């Protein structure tokens, strides 16, 4: 593990994502990526008596699917880095409590999955961890309950609002094996351009995404054209437009041709009433695990810079009038034969 | 980028709410609820209920219908289109009490349902009662005499 430039870390041993899987809810299963997901639940209750337990069930399903795909056993996993949006990260903890896997809970809001992949790659790169689990989840209903209004409340959403994805993604990272390499990563800086509108998270997160992507390109002396895709987590349509503008104006970099956003992929905004797109930890986790990594394994995508975006406010900080700090963590995913 | 400059950029890039469409829908749905109220009022007076009591029965009926529609998960689907049309009449108030009551059942009858029931409607009660008291005070001491 070596530092490249100011912020980027290179994982010299080339940790590999040997398997990745996801589990999602009903709306996600009806979206454009319906065929990709490993497990689609027909209702968002997932046989649980509370939304919080339903989210924990998603975690269980995604982890079990990833373990099965890799043909390993739960006790083989040396450490799990997992997180979600609920207070005290209960979905991850409750979802993993019967597994006996050593767990380090993470909070990075919607950037959690990118952060978890970074932590797994770093842990495996030390040589002391033989198999690491990255996991992140979110649930529309539990997120609404914690951050917004009760489900049955008859309110209207603004066009800039995003829909929290009901989904979980889990990936196993090992020192070697068949799969997708994590060659570089970086932990992002907190960026706050003063946005206070909690119904426009895309706008709050876009500056953080721009900063991390610009830092990454600078530190690795690379150009947008060197990537098949620069993938942001959940900026949605509003945040994505802002990202492209900020990249041009502040950093003089044009990423239009390679930029994609998980939040824009997961729902069909015209049909699914998702407004500006999907959001939540489960958004990028499920899209990366079930849509991006499989394409990389088939060599359809070779180099993907995955920049997970997170808005770090709490319901309290929003009520107290504070602006929304955001962060973006990035990992570079490289397919076999995709260059170093 | 300075917050002011970015705020302008955000405003320019955010799609605007369809104001005219929302207003027309709110007018239609709000009017429809009033129409239902009037129909109920007429029906109640037909049964020899006094005007004063009939008005109370209309309120009770609308609250009951709203609570029922909220409970079976229909109200929010109507309200998504109706907006202020369902929020401004007494239906909005009833929904804002019923919705958290349902949502927080999982935290128990006391600390869940009962505590959280007024998280949305609470401010309406507090400031509604305060305004009513102030108005009553002014009316009693200065206007009535």
Q: List, for residues A118-173, the tens digit of each pLDDT value.
A: 999 999 999 999 999 999 999 999 999 999 999 999 988 999 999 999 999 999 99
Query: Domain for residue B60, yes or no?
Result: yes
Q: What are the tens digits of pLDDT across the range A228-269?
A: 999 999 999 999 999 999 999 999 999 999 999 999 999 998
The two three-digit tokens of residue A219, written as one number: 């530190």
Using CB atoms, pick whichever of B13, B17, B83 lies closest to residue A241. B13
Query: Domain for residue B5, yes or no?
Result: no
Q: Count how many domains chain A has.
A: 1
Give the C-alpha separation, A109 to A309, whole Å: 8
Query: Domain for residue B71, yes or no?
Result: yes
Interface contact A207-B92, CB threshold 8 A: no
Q: Count how many domains chain B has.
A: 1
Range of the domain at A125: 1-340
Using CB atoms, pick whichever of A50, A150, A159 lies closest to residue B99. A150
Query: Domain for residue B96, yes or no?
Result: yes
Query: Domain for residue B92, yes or no?
Result: yes
- Alpha-carbon torsion (A80, A85, A88, A93), positive or negative: negative
The pLDDT, as a whole number, for residue B62 is 97
Q: Which residue has the tokens 């998702």?
A: A274
The two three-digit tokens of residue A300, written as one number: 């359809």
CB pairs under 8 A between A and B: 89
Q: Which residue of A has its CA nearest to B67?
A: A152
A98 in contact with B, Cβ within 8 Å: no
Query: Domain for residue B8, yes or no?
Result: no
DSSP SS3 for B107:
helix
Range of the domain at B110: 21-143
CA distance B97 to chain A (A): 9
Q: What is the mean pLDDT of chain A?
A: 96
Query: Domain for residue B12, yes or no?
Result: no
pLDDT at residue A340 tops 60: no
Interface contact A207-B17, CB threshold 8 A: no
Query: Domain for residue B124, yes or no?
Result: yes
Question: At A333, which CATH number?
Answer: 3.40.47.40
Q: What are the tens digits of pLDDT across the range B27-72?
A: 999 999 999 999 999 999 999 999 999 999 999 999 999 999 999 9
* DSSP per position, A93-136: HHHHTTTT--EEEE--GGGHHHHHHHHHHHHHHTTS-S-EEEEE
């Amino acid at each position: 593990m070596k530092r490249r430039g100011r912020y980027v870390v290179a994982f010299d041993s080339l940790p590999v994502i040997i398997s990745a899987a996801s589990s999602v809810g009903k709306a996600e299963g009806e979206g454009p990526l319906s065929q990709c997901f490993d497990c689609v639940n027909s209702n968002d209750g997932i046989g649980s008596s509370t939304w919080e337990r339903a989210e924990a069930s998603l975690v269980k399903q995604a982890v079990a699917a990833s373990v099965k795909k890799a043909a390993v056993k739960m006790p083989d996993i040396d450490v799990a880095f997992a997180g979600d949006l609920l207070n005290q990260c209960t979905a991850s903890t409750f979802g993993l409590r019967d597994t006996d896997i050593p767990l380090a809970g993470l909070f990075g809001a919607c950037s959690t999955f990118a952060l978890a992949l970074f932590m797994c790659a770093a842990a495996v790169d030390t040589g002391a961890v033989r198999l690491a689990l990255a996991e992140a989840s979110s649930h529309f209903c539990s997120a609404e309950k914690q951050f917004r209004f009760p489900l049955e409340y008859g309110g209207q959403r603004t066009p800039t609002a995003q829909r929290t994805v009901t989904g979980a993604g889990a990936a196993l990272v090992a020192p070697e094996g068949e799969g997708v390499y994590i060659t570089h990563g970086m932990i992002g800086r907190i960026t706050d351009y003063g946005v206070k509108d909690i119904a426009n998270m895309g706008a709050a997160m876009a500056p953080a995404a721009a900063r991390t992507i610009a830092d990454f390109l600078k530190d690795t002396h690379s150009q947008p054209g060197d990537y098949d895709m620069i993938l942001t987590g959940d900026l949605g349509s509003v945040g994505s437009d802002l990202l492209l503008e900020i990249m041009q104006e502040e950093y003089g970099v044009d990423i239009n041709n390679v930029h994609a956003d998980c939040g824009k992929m997961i729902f069909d905004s015209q049909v699914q009433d998702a407004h500006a797109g999907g959001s939540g930890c489960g958004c990028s986790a499920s899209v990366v695990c079930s849509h991006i990594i499989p394409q990389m394994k088939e060599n359809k995508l070779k180099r993907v810079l995955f920049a997970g975006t997170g808005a770090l406010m709490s319901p309290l900080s929003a009520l107290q009038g504070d602006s929304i700090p955001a962060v973006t963590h990035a990992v570079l995913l490289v397919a076999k034969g995709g260059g170093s | 980028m300075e917050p002011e400059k970015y705020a302008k950029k955000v405003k320019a890039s955010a799609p605007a709410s369809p104001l005219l469409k929302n207003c027309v829908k709110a007018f239609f749905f709000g009017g429809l609820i009033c129409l239902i109220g009037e129909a109920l009022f007429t029906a109640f007076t037909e049964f020899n209920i006094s005007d004063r009591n009939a008005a109370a029965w209309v309120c009770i009926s609308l609250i009951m219908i709203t609570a029922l529609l909220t409970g079976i998960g229909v109200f929010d689907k109507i309200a998504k289109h109706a907006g202020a049309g369902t929020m401004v009449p007494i239906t909005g108030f009833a929904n804002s009490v019923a919705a958290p009551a349902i949502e927080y059942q999982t935290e128990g009858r006391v600390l869940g349902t009962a505590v959280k029931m007024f998280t949305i409607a609470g401010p309406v009660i507090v400031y509604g009662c305060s305004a009513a008291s102030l108005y009553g005070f002014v009316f009693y001491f200065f206007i009535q005499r």
